[in-house]
Structure 1
Amino acid sequence: MAKNIEKIKTALLNAAKDGKLSCTAARKLAEELGVAPREIGQMADELKIKIYGCELGCF
């Protein structure tokens, strides 16, 4: 599990621009990493990354 956490954290930090990430990009990232969107959302919260343009209320 720790590997997944680090993998998600690294991917989010690389994908986020100015502390922000679009909903579309967050969902795509979840799919690429094989994790639930909720996990991306939780890590984004921990890293203070704002997910914007939410389309489905997942985040």
Structure 2
Amino acid sequence: MDKIPEKVLEAVRKAAPEGRLSCAEAHSLAKALGVDFIIIGQAADELKIKIKNCQLGCF
């Protein structure tokens, strides 16, 4: 896995102050940062942030 850009890690950290990020918020963040959704997921994993309210029912 490539190193996740610091700007992505910081944005995910800021978007999830309670350690949880909704799937819709994660998608919006990916679009705003111009990165693939998987990068947001990898950043969340690295930061131990949980994805909630998954639109696919996976989490």
Give the RMSD, CA atoms, in angstroms.
Answer: 2.1
Q: Identity across aligned pairs (percent)?
A: 53
Unaligned 5+ residue runs, structure 1?
none
Q: Which has the higher helix share?
A: 1
1:13 aligns to 2:16 (yes or no): no
Which 4+ residue blocks in structure 1 deviate beyond 6 angstroms? none
- Secondary structure at the aligned position of 2:48 is classed as coil
TM-score (normalised: structure 1):
0.85
Tell me the equivalent position of 2:44.
Answer: 44
What's the counterpart of residue 25 of structure 1?
Answer: 25
